């Protein structure tokens, strides 16, 4: 199989390049991305921009073959330690090669490879980190459950196709104006690992699963560490995100939250952040439980979905 970073750039404006070649195959699924002409891309002056761990993301405009303008997000590697960040971008492309489109995973428009790789994605108005920072009284139960359900569905889709994200956190959950959520930033992701023993330590402080931390400590001591299911790493990080949405904190030991929070939601959060990977539910089960909350199965207090748990927990603490 050819690798993304080995492919020569072709101008999509030329007749020859309009017939997109099969560039690589991973997990038996052909990746036929759109090779974009860099001359049809431009960064929007004064537009939105963000600096991530491996790349800078800027709001831009892409001019398609019919000369229609599209608002996009343009991701490029950081200039410091350029080779390392280029490899992270290449890894992201290889991961995206194996995953069919999904409503809760950011859509990749295409990419460029000359003069440094670029990934061009659909533009999303904001991310969950910004939403949480801007919500002084916190989100409502309804908003939390619906955002969590979107993320869980996206994760379930990744896991079904053999991909573990490894860096689920609010800044990697993109949001549109209607609070629909999509997973983004696959620079830490990995394809079907035969064993967790081959896994490098990765993730973000506060959201990283304890078994990943343990593996890092064992590696420094020269030991192999223990085996664990890699998809449950994402479940732990997902649980921490839900915890932050509900309480404003990453600490699950919260007596006020346990007393005040909607019981089924709090039970799900505590299960997801269990220190034992095997005790965490899989994403399919998480989706089922959240869908039950959306339908309000079993009932609770009238109008409970409009309540803001973070505000109530803060007042009770």
- Report pLDDT for 22: 34
CA distances from residue 37 to 106, 118, 131, 309, 311 in whole angstroms, order as listed: 21, 11, 34, 48, 49
8 pLDDT band (50/70/90 cuts)?
very low
Specify whether 6 is catalytic. no
Residue-range domains of the chain with CATH: 4-122 (3.30.200.20), 126-316 (1.10.510.10)
Tell me which of 109-113, 227-231, 291-295 is least confident: 227-231
State how far the Cα of 304 lies from the Cα of 225, in Å rounded to an integer.
44
- Report pLDDT for 124: 92
- Judged against a pLDDT cut of 70, whether residue 144 lies above it is answered with yes
Query: Coil, strand or helix: which one is 169?
Result: coil
Q: Which of 167, 185, 231, 234 is catalytic?
A: 167
pLDDT digits (tens, 9 = 90+) for 63-75: 988 999 999 999 8
Number of residues written out for the chain: 317
pLDDT digits (tens, 9 = 90+) for 166-185: 999 999 999 998 999 999 99
Average pLDDT along the chain: 81
Structure-model confidence comparison of residues 223 and 56, the more confident one: 56
State how far the Cα of 167 lies from the Cα of 240, in Å rounded to an integer.
12
126 pLDDT band (50/70/90 cuts)?
very high
């Amino acid at each position: 199989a050819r690798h993304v970073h080995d492919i020569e750039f072709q101008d999509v404006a030329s007749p020859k390049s309009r017939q997109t070649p099969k560039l690589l195959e991973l997990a038996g699924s052909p990746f036929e991305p759109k090779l974009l002409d860099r001359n049809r891309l431009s960064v929007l002056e004064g537009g939105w921009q963000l600096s991530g761990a491996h790349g800078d993301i800027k709001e831009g405009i892409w001019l398609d073959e019919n000369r229609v303008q599209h608002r996009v997000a343009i991701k490029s590697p950081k200039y410091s330690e350029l080779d390392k960040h280029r490899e992270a971008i290449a890894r992201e492309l290889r991961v995206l090669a194996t995953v069919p489109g999904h409503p809760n995973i950011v859509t990749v428009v295409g990419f460029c490879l000359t003069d440094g790789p670029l990934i061009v994605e659909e533009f999303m108005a904001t991310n969950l980190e910004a939403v949480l920072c801007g919500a002084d009284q916190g989100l409502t139960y309804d908003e939390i459950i619906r955002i969590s359900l979107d993320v869980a569905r996206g994760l379930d889709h990744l896991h079904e196709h053999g991909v573990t994200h490894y860096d689920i956190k609010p800044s990697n959950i993109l949001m549109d104006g209607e609070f629909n959520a999509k997973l983004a930033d696959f620079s830490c992701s990995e394809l079907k690992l035969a064993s967790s023993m081959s896994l490098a330590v990765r993730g973000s402080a506060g959201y990283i699963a304890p078994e990943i931390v343990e593996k890092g400590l064992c590696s420094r001591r020269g030991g192999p560490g223990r085996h664990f299911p890699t998809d449950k790493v994402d479940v732990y990080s997902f649980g921490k995100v839900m915890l932050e949405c509900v309480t404003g904190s990453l600490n699950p030991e919260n007596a006020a939250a346990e007393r005040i929070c909607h019981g089924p939601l709090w039970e799900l959060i505590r299960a997801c952040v269990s220190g034992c990977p095997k005790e965490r539910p899989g994403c399919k089960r998480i989706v089922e439980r959240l869908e039950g909350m959306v339908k309000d199965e079993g009932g609770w207090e009238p109008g409970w979905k409009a309540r803001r748990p973070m505000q109530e927990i803060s007042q009770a603490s």
